[in-house]
Structure 1
Amino acid sequence: MTRKGLTVLAAGAVALTLSTGAMAKEWYPFPVQVWDPPFNMDSPRKDVEYTPQDKASKKWDICVSFPHMKDAYWMAVDYGVVAESQRQGVKMTLVEAGGYTNLNKQISQIEDCVAAGAQGVVIGAISFDGLNNLVSELKAKNIPVIDVINGISSPDISAKSLVSFGEMGYKAGEYLAKMHPKGSGVVKVAWFPGPPGAGWVEAGNKGFLDAVKDSDIQVVDTKYGDTGKEVQLKLVEDTLEANPDIKYIVGTSPTAEAAMGLLRDRGLEDKIKVLAYYFTPGVYEGIKAGRILAAPTDSAVIQGRVAIDQVVRILEGKDYLKHVGPKLYVIDSSNVKSFDKDSSLAPDDFKPTFSVE
């Protein structure tokens, strides 16, 4: 089915049109996992093929809140919510708080969105616990809340569209651990989990450490920080000064992207290898170029699409999956040219987009 490019408003009220090529290809059915009982990441999972509904019954008003739009990971989620809102014919307004230190701003942005008429809210949370009062208030107003990507601890959310970042961290660690099993010789690793206090970071940290604990991987430095590239670059620089004998840098995608350039500039590419524990265009290019070893993908575009479908289904009183996330797999040199790129990355010509009318 083909659709004409739809005009949307982006930053600075500049009108953009999504390319028809990017919008023409249907994304479903898509292999996902469903947690049952929901809202517990330790619950058993079953494999399901996810298929969204064709169209919304009316132009619902949906508010989407992200921690920031500073990296290409959130650009992929942005593309997912924009494309699915257009496909289903709903209104979507996206707000972003500017970074993981701005919890109060995220809360006030969502409150403003609801005051302006939003009927459902999708939240990529800055804090695992910090939005719980807001979520309870929204539930009291019969406004469904979808927890996308990052994780919210509130029992009052309506649905989750996310993966286990513990498993993401585990998959990155497992990849390393298989290369350096117990007894093969100790190798030193610097680990950069992301912003302190974010639910996905705590989960990713635990998963990575669990995966490497019975191997010859020795984590000699762990540095937390915002996922802005400049912040991560400074952390990597500090770590290289303190630990010149490390063999691997592992962390967020901005960490991997920053490290890739720094190691090249310092002539250390052959000495220190890089892994990411989630997937962005920079990581994709790095793997293709042989400068990043590997990264698991959580199909971020699909998580955005599913979140929109969930909130529309709830608003229309239809059946929906309460806790769903794409099936995880690792991208490395063996499959980087063959995997489903459109499920993980926004199209090259996609620009940050903040509303669908």
Structure 2
Amino acid sequence: MLALAAMMPLSSALADAWYPYDAEEVTPAFSADGTVSPVVYTPLEKAGKAWNICVSFPHMKDAYWLGVDYGVADEATRLGVNMNLVEAGGYTELNKQISQIEDCVASGADAVVVGAISFDGLNNVIGEIAGKGIPVIDVINGVSSPDIAAKSLVSFKTMGYETGAYLAAKHPAGSEEVLVGWFPGPAGAGWVEAAHAGFMEAVAGSAVKVLEPRFGDTGKETQLKLVEDVLQANPDVRYLAGTAVTAEAAQGLIRERGLKGKVDLLAFYMTPGVYTGIQRGLILAAPADSMVIQGRIAIDQAVRILEGKDYTKHVGPKIFVVDPQNIETVARENILPPQGYSAVFNVSN
């Protein structure tokens, strides 16, 4: 299936295979501590017209956002709507993301899907857009704005918690203390703060001692430098846990320094590099948030809102942990982009 996906056009590649999908709805919608209920998500068969949907991402520097891109682009193609995607270039580029969104709206967007650089920093522009009657859908990262129309995301607190719980189970209270280097991602991003809170909550009371968190952009060079600093300052560190980029970048470093089996890696979300690392025994485990499906749902939510149809306001795919025991049974195309996939910035129908 994956080989076919790499060769087939977007319009047909797995387009009718992803749903119905096990998901979780949060009620009341947009609440940080709402009730989570299992739901089965089924999208529309087709849009009523070729709506113009603007999509804004923080960057396209890693395979995670490439997976979200695959989700939004393929779902736009399947539904028959137009999609224009812009990316700001990194988590330090808040002002650029704001101006890109403003330009996208000015060019005639009917709806906006935003993967936010900052939890609070986009609130003004979101308020302005919503005030014009243009729905804004919050995808992946989370925002605090009360003016959004829908959320397609998972709880990164749960993602962080699942990662910490994995370690806590291996090293319960009363066992020998282990040191963990922790790399949550760029400071100030909503998903990072949530993952950090979940991770720390999960390891509390266990024999896991977390070193001072090392925050930083999810570029490979930035993460590699942070990992090198932690290894240099803490020769007794047993685990490195953090973003997928952290785990991917650290694999080579661990091998080069002869630390395989002495320093183990975990990521708190899934990418192709993490997936392969688990297959090869280089990464212990990572929860999957099905980022492809989050992108698909966001586009479907936008179309439903524009067409006045019922929609689930706050929903995300069900989270599950991938490890060597189950990796061969996971439907890869739902949690990762197809092998060989290149970024798509525009879909025209």
TM-score over 0.5 for the pair: yes
> In the aligned structure 1, how far is the partner of 2:14 from the partner of 2:166?
34
Q: Is contact 1:56–1:90 with CA below 8 Å preserved after alignment?
A: yes
Is 1:310 the counterpart of 2:306 in the alignment? no
Aligned to 1:77: 68
Matched letter for residue 77 of structure 2: Q
Using the TM superposition, give the Cα deviation of residue 19 of structure 1 relative to its aligned residue in structure 2, in angstroms. 5.7
d(CA) in 1 for partners of 2:42, 2:291: 16
Q: Deviations over 1:297-327 (max 9, x none)?
A: 0000000000000000000011100000111
Cα shift readout 1:51-107 (whole Å, capped 9, x = no counterpart): 000000000000000000000000000000001000000000000000000000000
Q: 1:41 maps to what in 2?
A: 32
Give the Cα separation in 2 of the matches to 1:265 and 1:54: 50
Decide which moves more: 216-225 or 166-175. Answer: 216-225
For the 8 Å contact 2:11–2:77, the answer to whether it is kept is no
1:120, CA displacement in angstroms?
Answer: 0.2
How far apart in 1 are the matches of 2:289 and 2:253? 26
Q: Is residue 158 of structure 1 aligned with residue 145 of structure 2?
A: no
Distance across 2 between alignment mates of 1:295 and 1:344: 12
**Partner Cα distance (1:342, 1:41) in 2:** 29
User: Aligned with 1:330: secondary structure?
Assistant: strand
Which residue of 179, 187, 199 corresponds with 1:196?
A: 187
Aligned-partner residue type, residue 142 of structure 1:
G
Residues 287, 93 of structure 1: alpha-carbon distance in 2 compared, 3 angstrom cutoff:
same
User: Is 1:244 aligned with 2:235?
Assistant: yes
| Aligned counterparts of 2:231 and 2:16: Cα–Cα separation in 1 | 44
Give the 3-state SS of the residue equivalent to 2:329 in structure 1. coil
Q: Which residue of 1 aligns with 2:248?
A: 257
Matched residue pairs, number? 344
CA-to-aligned-CA distance 1:241-290 (integer Å, 9 cap, x gap): 11111000000000000111100011111210000000000000000000
Structure 1 counterpart of 2:97: 106
Are positions 1:180 and 2:171 aligned together? yes
> Which amino acid in 2 is paired with 1:50?
Y
1:285 counterpart SS class: helix
Q: Partners of 1:25 and 1:52 in 2: how far apart?
A: 10
Distance, in Å, in 1 between the alignment partners of 2:328 and 2:242 is: 23
Residue aligning to 1:170: 161
Q: What is the match of residue 322 of structure 1?
A: 313
Q: For 2:197 and 2:10, how far apart are their aligned partners in 1?
A: 40
Pairing partner for 1:123 from 103, 107, 114: 114
1:168-221 deviations in whole A, cap 9, x for unaligned? 000000001000000111000000000000000000000000000111000123
Counterpart in the other structure of 1:96: 87
1:231 equivalent in structure 2: 222
Counterpart Cα distance in 2 of 1:66 and 1:96: 5
Q: Which residue of 2 aligns with 1:212?
A: 203
Match of 2:278 in 1: 287
Q: Report sequence identity in percent.
A: 61
C-alpha offsets along residues 12-62 of structure 1, whole Å, 9 cap, x if unaligned?
xxxx97367633552000000001100013100111100000000000000
Cα RMSD of the aligned pairs, angstroms, is: 1.4
Structure 1 distance, partners of 2:137, 2:307, is 15
Give unmatched runs, 5+ long, in structure 2. none
TM-score when scaled to structure 2? 0.97
Measure, in 1, the Cα distance between the counterparts of 2:49 and 2:12.
26
How far apart in 2 are the matches of 1:24 and 1:202?
34
Q: Distance in 2 between matches of 1:18 and 1:140?
A: 37
User: 1:138: which partner in 2?
Assistant: 129
Match of 2:340 in 1: 349
1:350 Cα deviation after fit: 1.1
5+ residue gaps, structure 1, are: 6-15
Distance 1:23 1:107 in 2: 33
SS in 2 for 1:47: strand
Residue 189 of structure 1 contacts residue 221 of structure 1 at CA under 8 Å; is this kept in 2?
no
Bigger fraction of residues in strand: 1
